[in-house]
């Protein structure tokens, strides 16, 4: 699977090129803080108080030292003054700690809110992405964005906000105190600022690329893992773990290289800045000492100053150190934003109202009695419909037919003739290239998607169950359905039959894609779900393909009742349902080559009849022979 690796590599490098986007991304990240701006303001206020106290305390401590020095040189040791000063310092330090705690707590709360929203918007986005997006993007990469990247952003934001505000304020506080104590020494300290900035900018430029690469490779690795673990049985069956390991190892190696480089390059900032600040410290110490000898400053003053210059250079070093976090955070944010910016299904005017309606979860004609014949089904018209998944390669060509209310329309044809595509179009999972589909005269493109789908019950070949109890999985069709209704639907579809043999019955939790059930049992659950939903139009796409025939015979009545009074579209290889259909469409290469009911089509002796004969010729006699021998 080398080609896969290659394509992912190219996308990885494409993502890795940092552009002016790094700034745009940072701005957008800051934008995320908007909803929590008052909290952030409170945090800044607490930080200001903390810095003010933390900065003035060393000055007073310096004064206290001078009291001691006076004692040595002047002979009189003012114990009272020392005690008063130190008490004040102690109180100030206490206050500083309290404010520091307030700031930390407020920031943490704000950042967690941001993380929450970010995850929620990624999830919300999933529901607005076109189906085609999931065909192109690997699951594992999307998941990595929602977990690894968001996790990285909120961890980084938490530390950044905590320390960045603090560092900047400490910087300013220390600077003003230094200016007050000795403008000359302050000037020396300021000389280091351009150096520090230059170092930071140079390193940042180098490391951003590595960070982008690190996170995109993480996504890629996630995708490999997700895919190989999901398909591990196939790999085992064919003894191809070696191939999977090779692809994985390549990604793993690349992840190692990019993370090591990102870490190393960005990690170099701090030592370099410490060096600059040490040089500053030395300069202050030497010049300060010379000032004292010249009688321009006191020893206590120099001591306080040294402490300030430490306070001044420490935040510079910290800001540099935060570079690592900041860049890693931006790289992750770029990936999350890219997902959030992915092209969505075009909105339709009614979507808004539909969405709100959905919010109450009582959308659509769900109140319909699931058992009795439902609301009279709609009249569905396909009018010159053409569509292709890849443009220029139509899967369905110029398709026209009408399904009268309550009719059952069967769609037959060879695998790949375009049957499932018709379902995808009716459900508006994909949009038409040309032509139109109407329900009761209204173009479905003009209806809200949710409104449209609320009219249709669907059972697909790939039976989807989610982690939750069997009851919840059935109830999915009609939220809030009563136990009696759920049981009725389960009984009609023979779900009840096998659920009873499970130790936890309807409370049995399905995990791992429903692995504990057979494919056929999963299909029965999805049929029960549609039964419960009781929509006016029904789509059955190979709904019973994995259900064994004895069971199918048993649920046949239920299926018939399910279709009663509903406009139904049935795709099935087993011709039982097809036989009773009011209209059979025989498809070939995206076109309807024949239509009519069973008798008409057999009489026509066309493709349908050939299809039918292929299925039964010779077999039927054998089966009948057996039957008569019974």
Partner 1 sequence: MLPGMMMRLLAAHKPAVLAIVVLQLLQTTANLLLPTLNAAIIDDGIVAGNTDLILRLGGWMAGIAAVQVAAALAAGYFSANVAMKLGRQLRQELFAKVQALSSQEVGTFGVPSLVTRATNDVQQIQALAVLVFTMLVAAPAMGIGGIVLALNQDVVLSGIVVAIVPVLVLIMYLIVRRLVPLYREGQILIDRISRVLREQIIGANVIRAFVRQAHEARRFAVVNRELTRNNLQSALLVAGMLPLIMIVVNLSSVAVVWFGGHRIQAGDMRLGALTAFIAYILQILIAIMMAMYVLMTAPRAAACAERIQAVLDTRPAIADPAISRAGLPHAQRTAGGTVEFRDVTFAYPGAEAPVLDRISFTASPGTFTAIIGSTGSGKSTLLNLLPRFLDATSGEVLIGGHNVKSLPLHFLRNSMSLVPQRAYLFSGTVAENLRIAAPDASDQDLLRALRTAQAEDFVRELPDGLHAPVSQGGTNFSGGQRQRLCIARALLRDAPVYLFDDSLSALDYTTDARLRVALAPLTRRSTVIIVAERIATILDAGLILVLDKGRLVAQGTHSELMRTSTVYQEIAASQLALGGRV
Window 169 to 228, contacts with partner 1 (CB under 8 A):
218, 221-223, 225-228
Residue 198 or residue 289: which is nearer to partner 1 going by CB? Answer: 289
Q: State how far the Cα of 380 lies from the Cα of 456, in Å rounded to an integer.
A: 11
Min dist CB 19 to partner 1, Å, is: 26
Distance (Å, whole) CA 428 – CA 450 = 10
Cα three-residue angle 516-521-527, rounded to 5 degrees: 135
Closest approach of partner 1 to the CB of residue 383, in Å: 22
Contact between 411 and 587 (Cβ < 8 Å): yes
Of the two residues 141 and 334, which places its CB atom closer to partner 1 in the complex? Answer: 141
By CB under 8 A, the residues from 343 to 362 that bind partner 1 are 354-355, 358-359, 361
Q: Cα 41 to chain center, whole Å? A: 30
When the beta carbons of 330 and 575 are compared against partner 1, the nearer one is: 575
C-alpha separations of 368 from 258, 374, 451, 481, 488 in Å: 58, 6, 15, 11, 15
**Residue 471 near partner 1 by CB under 8 A:** no
From the list 274, 340, 375, 558, which residue makes contact with partner 1 (rule: CB under 8 A)?
Answer: 274
418-437 residues near partner 1, rule: CB under 8 A: 419-420, 427, 429
Q: Nearer Cβ to partner 1, position 443 or 462?
A: 462
Instruction: Give the nearest distance from C-beta 407 to partner 1 in angstroms.
Output: 19
Q: What is the per-residue binding string for partner 1 in 70-109, x denoting contact by CB under 8 A?
A: -xx----x----xx--x--xx--xx-xxx-xx--xx-xxx
Nearest approach, Cβ of residue 427 and partner 1 (Å): 6
Residue 45 touches partner 1, criterion: CB under 8 A: no
Task: Please report, as residue ranges, which positions from 548 to 607 form the binding site for partner 1 (by CB under 8 A).
Answer: 548-553, 556, 573-576, 579, 598
Show the binding pattern over residues 104-143: x = contacts partner 1 (CB under 8 A), - = does not.
Answer: xx-xxx-xxx-xx--xx-xxx-xx-x-x--xxx-xxx-xx
Give yes or no for a contact between 133 and 350, defined as CB atoms under 8 angstroms apart: no
Q: How open is the CA angle 200-202-208, to the nearest 5 degrees?
A: 90
Q: Does 511 bind partner 1 (CB under 8 A)?
A: yes
Contact criterion met (CB below 8 Å) for 378 and 439: yes
> Closest separation between CB of residue 472 and partner 1, Å?
10
Which of 241, 400, 557, 600 binds partner 1 (CB under 8 A)? It is: 241
549 HSE (CA, 13 A, CB side): 5
The region of 16-24, 66-74, 172-180, 562-570 touching partner 1 under the rule CB under 8 A is: 66-74
Minimum CB distance to partner 1 smaller for 186 or for 571 = 571
- Does 441 help bind partner 1 (rule: CB under 8 A)? no
Contact (Cβ atoms closer than 8 angstroms) between residue 572 and residue 544: yes
Distance CA 268, CA 199 (A): 10
Three-state DSSP string of 165-231: HHHHHHHHHHHHHHHHHCHHHHHHHHHHHHHHHHHHHHHHHHHHHHHHHHHHHHHHHHHHHHHHHHC
Per the listing, tokens 């080559």 go with: 593
| Shortest Å distance, C-beta 463 to partner 1 | 9
Q: Which of 11, 250, 303, 564 binds partner 1 (CB under 8 A)?
A: 303
Indicate the residue among 24 and 206 with the shorter CB distance to partner 1.
206
Extract the tokens encoding 76: 């009189």
Task: Say whether residue 307 binds partner 1 (CB under 8 A).
Answer: yes
Residue placing its CB nearer to partner 1 in the complex, 21 or 248: 248
From the list 17, 202, 264, 349, which residue makes contact with partner 1 (rule: CB under 8 A)? 264
Q: Per DSSP, what are the bridge partners of residue 413?
A: 587
Stretch of residues binding partner 1 (CB under 8 A), selected from 200-208, 334-342, 369-377, 473-481? 473-481
Tokens read off for 490: 């389960």
Instruction: Assess 286 for contact with partner 1 (CB under 8 A).
Output: yes
Shortest distance (Å) from residue 23 CB to partner 1: 26
413 binds partner 1 (CB under 8 A): yes
Q: Give the β-pairing of 380-387 and 509-510.
A: unpaired
Site for partner 1 in 371-390 (CB under 8 A): 389-390
d(CA 546, CA 332): 43
Task: Give the residue, chosen from 168, 498, 596, 604, that forms a contact with partner 1 under the rule CB under 8 A.
Answer: 498
**Contact indicator for 452, 350 with CB cutoff of 8 Å:** no
Dist CA 5 CA 112 (whole Å): 36
Q: In this chain, which of 336, 477, 538, 595 binds partner 1, going by CB under 8 A?
A: 477
Residue 144 within binding range of partner 1, rule CB under 8 A? yes
What minimum distance in Å lies between the beta carbon of 518 and partner 1?
5
If binding means CB under 8 A, how many residues of this protein chain bind partner 1?
A: 203
Long-range interactions of 439-447: CB distance < 8 A, separation 24+: 439/378, 439/379, 439/380, 439/381, 439/537, 440/378, 440/379, 441/379, 445/348, 446/348, 447/348, 447/350
Verify binding: residue 621, partner 1, rule CB under 8 A: no
Question: Quick check: 519 binds partner 1 (CB under 8 A)?
Answer: yes
User: 3-state class of 81 per DSSP?
Assistant: helix
Calpha distance 492→495 (Å, rounded)? 8
Among 470, 542, 581, 586, binds partner 1 (CB under 8 A): 542
Query: In this chain, which stretch among 10-18, 31-39, 240-248, 374-382 interacts with partner 1, using CB under 8 A?
Result: 240-248
CB distance 346 to 226 below 8 Å? no
Sketch the per residue contact string, 387 through 406, with partner 1: x for CB under 8 A, - otherwise.
Answer: --xx--x-------------
Residue 338: CA atoms inside 13 Å, Cβ hemisphere, count?
A: 23
Is the Cβ of residue 23 or residue 389 nearer to partner 1 in the bound state? 389
Does residue 484 interact with partner 1 by CB under 8 A? no
Instruction: List all residues 6 or more positions away from 120 whose beta carbon is below 8 Å from its beta carbon.
Output: none
In this chain, which of 13, 230, 402, 434 binds partner 1, going by CB under 8 A?
A: 230
């Amino acid at each position: 699977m080398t080609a896969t690796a290659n394509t992912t590599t190219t996308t990885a490098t494409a993502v890795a090129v940092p552009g002016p986007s790094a700034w745009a991304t940072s701005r957008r990240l800051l934008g995320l803080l908007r909803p929590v701006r008052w909290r952030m303001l409170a945090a800044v206020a607490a930080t200001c108080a903390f810095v003010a106290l933390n900065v003035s305390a060393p000055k007073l401590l310096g004064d206290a030292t001078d009291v001691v020095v006076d004692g040595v040189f002047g002979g009189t040791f003012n114990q009272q003054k020392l005690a008063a000063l130190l008490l004040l310092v102690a109180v100030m330090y206490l206050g500083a700690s309290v404010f520091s705690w307030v700031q930390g707590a407020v920031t943490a709360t704000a950042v967690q809110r941001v993380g929450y929203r970010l995850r929620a918007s990624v999830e919300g986005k999933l529901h607005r992405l076109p189906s085609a997006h999931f065909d192109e993007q690997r699951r594992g990469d999307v998941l990595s964005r929602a977990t690894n990247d968001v996790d990285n952003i909120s961890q980084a934001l938490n530390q950044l906000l905590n320390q960045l505000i603090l560092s900047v304020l400490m910087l300013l506080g220390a600077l003003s105190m230094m200016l007050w104590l000795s403008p000359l020494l302050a000037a020396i300290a300021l000389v280091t600022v351009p150096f520090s900035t230059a170092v930071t900018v140079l390193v940042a430029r180098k490391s951003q690329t590595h960070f982008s690469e690190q996170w995109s490779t993480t996504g890629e690795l996630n995708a490999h893992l997700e895919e190989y673990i999901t398909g591990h049985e196939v790999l085992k069956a064919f003894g191809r773990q070696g191939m999977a390991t090779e692809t994985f190892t390549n990604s793993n190696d690349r992840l190692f290289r990019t993370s090591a480089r990102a870490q190393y390059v960005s990690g170099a900032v701090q030592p370099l800045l410490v060096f600059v600040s040490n040089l500053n410290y030395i300069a202050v110490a030497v010049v300060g000492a010379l000032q004292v000898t010249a009688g321009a400053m006191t020893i206590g003053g120099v001591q306080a100053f040294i402490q300030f210059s430490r306070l001044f250079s420490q935040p510079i070093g910290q800001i540099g150190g935060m570079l690592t976090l900041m860049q890693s955070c931006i790289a992750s944010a770029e990936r999350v934003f890219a997902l959030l910016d992915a092209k969505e299904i075009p909105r339709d005017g009614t979507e808004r109202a539909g969405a709100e309606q959905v919010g109450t979860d009582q959308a659509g004609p769900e109140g319909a009695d699931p058992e009795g014949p439902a609301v009279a089904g709609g009249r569905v018209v396909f009018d010159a419909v053409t569509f292709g998944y890849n443009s220029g390669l139509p899967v369905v060509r110029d398709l026209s037919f009408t399904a009268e209310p309550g009719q059952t329309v069967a769609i037959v044809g060879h695998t790949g003739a375009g049957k499932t595509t018709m379902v995808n179009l009716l459900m508006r999972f994909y949009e038409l290239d040309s032509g139109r589909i109407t329900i009761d005269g209204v173009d479905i493109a003009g209806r809200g998607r949710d409104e449209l789908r609320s009219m249709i019950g669907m059972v697909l070949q790939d039976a989807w169950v989610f982690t939750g109890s069997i009851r919840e999985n059935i109830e999915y069709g009609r939220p809030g359905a009563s136990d009696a209704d759920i049981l009725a639907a389960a009984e009609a579809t023979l779900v009840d039959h096998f659920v009873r043999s499970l130790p936890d019955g309807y409370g049995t939790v399905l995990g791992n894609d429903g692995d504990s059930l057979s494919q056929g049992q999963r299909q029965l659950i999805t049929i029960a779900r549609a039964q419960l939903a009781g929509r006016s139009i029904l789509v059955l796409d190979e709904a019973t393909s994995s259900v064994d025939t004895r069971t199918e015979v048993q649920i046949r009545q239920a299926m018939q009742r399910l279709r009663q009074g509903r406009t139904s579209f049935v795709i099935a290889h087993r011709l039982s349902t097809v036989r009773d259909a009011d209209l059979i469409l025989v498809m070939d290469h995206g076109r309807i080559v024949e239509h009519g009911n069973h008798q008409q089509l057999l009489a026509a002796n066309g493709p349908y009849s050939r299809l039918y004969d292929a299925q039964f010729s010779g077999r039927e006699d054998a089966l009948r022979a057996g039957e008569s021998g019974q």
